[in-house]
C-alpha cells in the first residue's frame, strides 16, 4: 500500500482521485496481472473462434491495420 505524506492542504478532489487510482495502480503493478489478462484474452479468442461468430472473428483478424504519416505507412493484418 502506498504511504501518503501529508504536507499542507490536500484538495478534496485529490483524495477522491487517490481512492480510485491507488487500487488500480496496485492491480496493474502486481506480477500476476499480465498473466491473468493474457489467460482471459486467450479464453475469449478460443470461444469466439469456435462460436457462431467465428466468421466475423476471422474477418477481424485478416483486416489490415495501418499506422503512419503521409508518405510513410506501416500496414499489417492483425494475425501477422
Domain extents in the chain: 10-49, 53-80
Distance, CA of 8 to CA of 11 (rounded, Å):
10
- pTM here is 0.52
N-to-C CA span, the chain: 40
For 33-71, the pLDDT digits (tens) are 888 889 999 999 999 989 999 999 888 888 988 899 888
The better pLDDT of the pair 25, 49 is held by: 49
38, 41, 46, 47 alpha-carbon torsion, rounded to 10°: 150
Amino acid at each position: 500500500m502506498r504511504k501518503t505524506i501529508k504536507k499542507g492542504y490536500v484538495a478534496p478532489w485529490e483524495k477522491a482521485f487517490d481512492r480510485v487510482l491507488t487500487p488500480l495502480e496496485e492491480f496493474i503493478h502486481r506480477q500476476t496481472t499480465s498473466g491473468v489478462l493474457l489467460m482471459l484474452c486467450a479464453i475469449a479468442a478460443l470461444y469466439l473462434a469456435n462460436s457462431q461468430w467465428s466468421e466475423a472473428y476471422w474477418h477481424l483478424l485478416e483486416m489490415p491495420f495501418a499506422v503512419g504519416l503521409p508518405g510513410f505507412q506501416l500496414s499489417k493484418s492483425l494475425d501477422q
